[in-house]
Amino acid sequence: MARMVQCAKFGEELEGLERPTYPGELGKRIYLNISKQAWGEWVRHQTMLINEYRLTPIEPKAREFLEEEMEKFLFGEGGTVPEQFTPQ
C-alpha cells in the first residue's frame, strides 16, 4: 500500500514519495509533505531552469538558486519561469 501525504503543493491527500529525495531539513519537509506527483512536476521545472539558465548544478550558486526555487515551487507561490521560455 502506498504511503499517503497531505500534499502542500496541491492541498489534498496524494501518494507520497517512497524515500527522501533531498538531504537535510528541507528533504525531510519534502518527504513528509510533498506528493510523488508534485515532486515529478518539480523535477520537470528544475530541468527547464537548468536548461534555460544554463546552470551547472554542482556550482554552489546554482545549487542555492535551485534550492530556493524548489522551496517556492513546492511550498510557496510557485517557481520562476524565464522570460524567454516558451513551452513545447
pLDDT value of residue 40: 97
Per-residue pLDDT of the chain (88 residues; tens, 9 = 90+): 789 999 999 999 999 999 999 999 999 999 999 999 999 999 999 999 999 999 999 999 999 999 999 999 999 887 777 666 666 6
pLDDT in the model for residue 78: 75
The Cα angle at residue 66 between residues 61 and 70, in degrees rounded to 5: 150
- CA 86 to each of CA 66, 79, 82: distance values in angstroms, whole numbers, following the listed order: 20, 15, 9
Query: What CATH homologous superfamily does 4-75 map to?
Result: Fe(II) trafficking protein YggX (1.10.3880.10)
